[in-house]
Structure 1
Amino acid sequence: MCATTYRERADAGMATLQTFYNPATGLWKTTGWWNAANVLETTIDYCTFTDSLTYRTNIFNTFEKNKRNRFLNEFYDDQGWWALTWIKAFDLTGEVRYLEAARVIFTDMTKGWDNTCGGGIWWNKEHKYKNAISNELFLSIAARLFLRTRDQRYLDWAQRTWTWFSKTGMINARHLINDGLNAQCQNNGQPTWTYNQGVILGGLIDLYQCTNNRALLKTAEAIADAAIQNLAPNGVLKEPCEPNCGLDGPQFKGIFIRNLSDLYRTIHKLTYRDFILRNADSIWAEARNPRNQFGLCWAQKFDQADAARQSAAMDALNASIVASRTPIVLQAETATLHDLVLEAVYAGYEAGGYVAGWNRDGQWVDFNFTLPSAGRFDLIFRYAAAAGNAARFIFVNGRAIVNTQLFPGTGDWAVWSTVTLPNVALQTGNNTVSLIFNQSKGSRNWLNLDQLIIL
C-alpha cells in the first residue's frame, strides 16, 4: 500500500490487525489474555483518534463474549489491563456498563494490598511477587476512576499507591523502573522493560489531573527522558529481550509509546513528538512486510506476524496521528467576545492581548475555525488565574462538553498555564468552541484567556 500520511499508515495497519480478530471468542488469534486487553485498547485509541466507526463493534463483542468471569483471573496485572481498557471504552461510547466493569475489577484488585514491603498490591493472588507493573496499573485505574466518578475512595487509593511506590526504590538512580522487589523488599535489579516506564507515565498524568500537582509531571518527564535516552538506540525503542521476546515482550514497546503520547499531549514537549514520529517512521520503513504486518524489532527487517507485534506497532502509528498534526493556534484577539474585553497589561501573553474582566453570567468567548476533515482533537487552553482556581462551562458545536472545566490557579496574572480537554469530536468545515461563565454550571472566579490551540 502506498500510504503517504500517518493517518493512512494507521488505517492500513489497523486493517491488518483486524485480520487476527476472532469474532467467535472476542479475542485475537496468536495472543494471550492480557495481550487481548491491550489490543482492544489499541483499537479503541484508533477509533478515538480517527472518529472511525469501522471497528467499534469489537468493543461490544469482546465484552459480551468474555464478561462471564467479570474479567477476573489469578493475576492482578492481567485484571488491570482490562480495567484500563474498559475505562477507555466508556470514554468512547458513554456506555456505563464498561465503567462498572472497571470498578468491579478495581475492587477485586484492592484485595491484593497488604503491608508486606510497606504496602502495594501483589502480582498474583498467590502473593508471590510485588512488582512494578501491577502497582502502576493500580495507580492509574484508581486515578481514572476518580476522575470519572468523583468517588474520594479512588483518589485515596491513587495517592496511597504513589506514596508507597515512590519510596520502594523500584525507580532507580537513572530514573528507570526495574521489574519489582526482591524478598528483602529491595529493587531486584531485573530488566527495565519499556512498559514499566510507560504505564507509570499514564498513572502520574492521571494523578496530576486529580490533584493539579505539577511535581508529578516533572517525575513523569524524568522517567520518559531516561527511557528515551537509555532504551532507544538511534532513537528507536528496543526491548531488552530482543530479538527473542516470547509472547509477552512484543507488546511492551507499544504500551510505552501509548503513554508517552499522553504525556506529549499533556506537556507538549517537542522531543516527545519527534520521538513518536521517529518510531512510527522506522516501523513503516524497516519493520513492515508487503501485507502491512509489523515485526518485533522496529529498526530491523520484519520477522514474523502476530497480534501483539501488530498492536504494539499500531500504538506508535496511533500516536503519530496526533503527533503529526500541525497545531491550529487561535489567539484571543481573533475570538468573538460577549460582554468581555481584551487586555494587554500582564506579561507573558503570546500575541496582541488576552480576554479579561471575566467573572459573571452572560460573559463568554467563541472561537470559530474550520477543519478539512472530522476527527477527535485536543483543545488546549492557555490561561492565567491569579485569584485561585477558576471554572468555565465549555460548549462545542451546539452541545455541552464539560459543565465545570477546572482551570487551576496560577498564583500570578503574569504566570500562564495550560489545560487540555482531550479527544473532543470536531466536524468537517466550521466549528465553534465556546467558553461560558455560567454560575448554574459551577463557573467561578476570574480568568484571563490567551489562546486556544487545536491539536
Structure 2
Amino acid sequence: MSSYYAHHWPHFPPGWRIPPSIRTNGFLNGYYDDEGWWSLAWIAAYDVTRNQEYLSTAQSIFEDMQAAYGTTPCSGIWWDKAHTYVNAIANELFLDVAAHLANRASTPASKTYYLSWAEEQWNWFRNSGLINAQHTINDGLNDTTCQNNDGTIWSYNQGVILGGLTELSRATEDSSYVTTAKQIADASIASLTVNGILHDACEPDCGGDGSQFKGVFARNLRILQQYSPEARYATFLDTNANSIWNDDREGRELSLIWSGPYIQPANASTQSSAMDAIVGALAT
C-alpha cells in the first residue's frame, strides 16, 4: 500500500480505478512506506509459521529502508526514492518494523541492533514536529523548513504509531512508550470520531488506499489494547464494529463509511478495513 491517496488528496481517482502499475525489485520499490507494509506482512507470516525465510525477507526489506535514514534535510527517511516528501507514514513504519524485528531477534547483538534503530527513530519522530500540539499526527513535514506541514490528520498515521510504540514498550519493558501511545490514541479518537464512529476526511470517496486507513487505526489500537487494556478502547472498538455491522453492511459486503450508509464501491479494501474493527472488537 502506498501513500498516493494521502499525499494527493483530494485529487485521486475513484475507488473503482486502480493506480498505474509499477515495476518492482522483489518486495522493494520506489516507496519506503510500501516496503514497510511488506516487511510487517512478512513478520506476521513468520509469527504464524515460524518460517525463518519470512523473517529474513522482512530483515532485508528493513535494510533498504534503513539505508535511507538521515538522507532527508530533516533526518528520518523519505516517503519515496525520488525524494519528494518526508511524511509520517514511512517514518512510523520504519520505527514499527525495527521494533518488531527487535522482539524477534535470535541473538542479543541482533536485538541491540534493531532496538537501537527503533529508539533512534522514535527520538527523531517525537522531536520532528510531526506530532502537533493536540497530540495528533499530521501527514508530513515541509522538506524546506522541516516544520509540520499542517497536512490532513489521517487515521492510519495515528494508528501505526500505536503499534510501533507498543512493540517498543514490549522490547524495552518501558511503560512510557505505552503512556505516549495512549495519549495519541485518545487525541485521535477525540479528533476523528463523530458520535463515537471513526471517520477520515476523504469520505465518501477515499480511493483504494484511503479506504484502508481506518482499519489500520483499529488494528493497531487492538494491539495496544491487548498489551495494556483500557475500557474506553474496548468501547470504541465495540461501537465501531456494531455500527459497521448494522449500518455499513449489505449482505456480506462492508463498505467505506462505518457510520453508514452502505455505499459502493464495496471491495477488498473496504472489507478488510472494516473487518479490522470487527476483529478488534472480538479480540478485546
TM exceeding 0.5: yes
Q: Deviations over 1:114-157 (max 9, x none)?
A: 25344201000111111100010000100110110141211111
What residue number does 2:69 align with? 113
What residue number does 1:147 align with? 103
Counterpart selection for 1:250 from 182, 203, 211: 211
Please state if 1:95 is matched with 2:51: yes
Which gives a bigger RCO, structure 1 or 2 (Cα 8 Å, sep 6+)?
Answer: 2
SS in 2 for 1:217: helix
The one-letter code sitting in structure 1 at the alignment partner of 2:256 is L
> Gaps spanning 5+ residues in structure 1: where?
1-29, 34-65, 324-455
* Cα offset, 1:31, TM superposition: 8.7
CA RMSD of aligned residues (A): 1.8
Question: Is the 1:70–1:101 Cα contact (8 Å) retained in structure 2?
Answer: no
Moved over 3 A (4+): 30-33, 115-118
What residue number does 2:221 align with? 260
CA distance in 1, matches of 2:245, 2:85: 38
Please state if 1:168 is matched with 2:128: yes
In terms of Rg, which structure is larger? 1
CA distance in 2, matches of 1:315, 1:122: 28
Q: Deviations over 1:243-294 (max 9, x none)?
A: 121222101000000000011111110100010010000000000002x111
The one-letter code sitting in structure 2 at the alignment partner of 1:102 is A
What residue number does 2:12 align with? none
Counterpart selection for 1:222 from 161, 183, 187: 183
CA distance in 1, matches of 2:145, 2:39: 30
Calculate the TM-score normalised by the size of structure 2: 0.88
Please state if 1:293 is matched with 2:249: no
What residue number does 2:7 align with? none
Counterpart selection for 1:122 from 78, 84, 87: 78
The one-letter code sitting in structure 2 at the alignment partner of 1:250 is S
Please state if 1:77 is matched with 2:33: yes
* Cα offset, 1:69, TM superposition: 3.4
What residue number does 1:241 align with? 202
The one-letter code sitting in structure 1 at the alignment partner of 2:224 is L
Q: Deviations over 1:38-70 (max 9, x none)?
A: xxxxxxxxxxxxxxxxxxxxxxxxxxxx9x933
Q: Deviations over 1:413-449 (max 9, x none)?
A: xxxxxxxxxxxxxxxxxxxxxxxxxxxxxxxxxxxxx
The one-letter code sitting in structure 2 at the alignment partner of 1:165 is F
> Gaps spanning 5+ residues in structure 2: where?
1-15
CA distance in 2, matches of 1:31, 1:225: 34
Equivalent pairs, count:
261
* Cα offset, 1:212, TM superposition: 1.4
SS in 1 for 2:253: coil
Q: Deviations over 1:375-419 (max 9, x none)?
A: xxxxxxxxxxxxxxxxxxxxxxxxxxxxxxxxxxxxxxxxxxxxx
CA distance in 1, matches of 2:237, 2:18: 26
Question: Is the 1:133–1:179 Cα contact (8 Å) retained in structure 2?
Answer: yes
Counterpart selection for 2:168 from 207, 230, 238: 207
Q: Deviations over 1:335-359 (max 9, x none)?
A: xxxxxxxxxxxxxxxxxxxxxxxxx
SS in 2 for 1:116: coil
The one-letter code sitting in structure 2 at the alignment partner of 1:260 is L
Tell me which protein shows more helix as a share of its residues: 2
CA distance in 2, matches of 1:295, 1:123: 28
Question: Is the 2:248–2:258 Cα contact (8 Å) retained in structure 1?
Answer: yes
CA distance in 1, matches of 2:247, 2:169: 37
